[in-house]
């Protein structure tokens, strides 16, 4: 079983739509969680951290459900510029260190 | 501006050659990481270093080597023992604490010719 799993998509949505992605993780001792955005042939860039209480940044909302071991990302009022791959990252404790483990990413395509 | 720099951006290697990819950061981060990304795939951890003069193998370390002689630098050598080295290589750094995210360099595309 993979440690961090995401639906690869693609999610194909019209501008203005609301879209949500989930990411499940296997290690219940995982400490911290992030969403990254990766554009084609570019490096990943931090979109937002995910806190236990949930957090919002403009059109983006991230949630953490520790009991069910998943995190989610909600994008409201999708823009063409939101088209990218969204990577879920989980910090897993390994031998006293925190090692980032990445999901394969979920592809989002926003069309006019 | 602080950041993390990878060079070269593109690299071509003949079979049987070793090549070294550079990664330098001026963010004063303790931890540095090397990842490999294949088309349509996620990032796979090659090596990581939490402190100078110490590093650990990741999930796919075979055929790779690293050094961490300075806090700012974490070069990756792709040896001839790596059977399928063509990939996008990404270096990242972090303050090394659990709740901080990771900053990536712009990557090196390695192609074996």
Give the count of Cβ contacts less than 8 A between chain A and B: 54
- The first and second tokens of residue A71, run together, are 């995190």
The pLDDT assigned to A2 comes to 65
Tell whether B34 is within 8 A of chain A (Cβ).
no
Nearest Cα to B90, choosing from B78, B111, B106?
B106
Task: Give me the phi and psi of A81, to 5 degrees please.
Answer: -70, -10
Tell whether B61 is within 8 A of chain A (Cβ).
no
DSSP for residue B73:
B
Contact A103 B106 (CB under 8 A): no
Q: Which residues of B76-91 are buried (b: 16+ CB within 10 A; e: fewer)?
A: bebeeebeebebbbbb
Contact B101 A45 (CB under 8 A): no
What's the CA gap between B91 and A33, in Å, rounded? 19
Query: If pLDDT is split at 50, 70 and 90, which confidence band does B74 have?
Result: very high
Tell whether B35 is within 8 A of chain A (Cβ).
yes
The pLDDT assigned to B1 comes to 65
The pLDDT assigned to B97 comes to 67
Q: Given phi > 0 = left and psi -120 to 50 = alpha, else beta, which region is B43?
A: beta
Contact A102 B43 (CB under 8 A): yes
The pLDDT assigned to B42 comes to 87
Q: Are A20 and A74 in contact (CB under 8 A)?
A: yes
Q: What is the pLDDT along chain A (112 residues), one digit of tens a residue?
A: 568 999 999 999 999 999 999 999 998 777 789 999 999 989 999 999 998 888 999 999 999 999 999 999 999 999 999 999 999 999 887 777 778 899 999 999 999 9
Contact A43 B105 (CB under 8 A): yes
Pairing relationship of beta strands A60-65 and A70-75 according to DSSP bridges: antiparallel
Please provide the DSSP assignment of chain A as one string.
Answer: --SEEE----EEEETT--EEEEEEES-TT--EEEEEEE-TTS--EEEEEE-TT-EEETTEEEEEETTTTEEEEEE-S--GGG-EEEEEEEEEEETTEEEEEE---EEEEEE-
- The first and second tokens of residue A102, run together, are 């990445």
Which among A8, A31, A46 is the nearest to B98, CB-wise? A31
- The first and second tokens of residue A76, run together, are 């409201």
Tell whether A50 is within 8 A of chain B (Cβ).
no
């Amino acid at each position: 079983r993979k440690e961090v799993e995401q639906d690869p998509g693609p999610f194909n949505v019209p501008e203005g739509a609301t879209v949500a992605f989930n990411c499940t993780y296997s290690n219940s001792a995982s400490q911290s969680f992030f969403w990254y955005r990766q554009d084609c042939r570019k490096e990943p860039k931090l979109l937002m951290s995910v806190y236990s209480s949930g957090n919002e940044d403009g059109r983006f909302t991230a949630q953490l459900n520790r009991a069910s071991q998943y995190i989610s990302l909600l994008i409201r009022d999708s823009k063409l510029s939101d088209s990218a791959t969204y990577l879920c990252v989980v910090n897993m404790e390994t031998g006293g260190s925190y090692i980032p483990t990445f999901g394969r990413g979920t592809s989002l395509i926003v069309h006019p | 501006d602080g950041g993390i720099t990878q060079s070269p951006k593109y690299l071509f290697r003949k079979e049987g050659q070793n090549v070294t990819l550079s990664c330098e950061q001026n963010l004063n981060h303790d931890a540095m990481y090397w990842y490999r990304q294949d088309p349509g795939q996620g990032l796979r951890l090659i090596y990581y270093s939490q402190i100078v003069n110490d590093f650990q193998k990741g999930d796919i370390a075979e055929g790779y080597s690293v050094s961490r002689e300075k806090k700012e630098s974490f070069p990756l050598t792709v040896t001839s023992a790596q059977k399928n080295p063509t990939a996008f290589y990404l270096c990242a750094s972090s303050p090394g604490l659990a709740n901080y995210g990771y900053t990536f360099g712009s990557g090196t595309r390695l192609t074996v010719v």
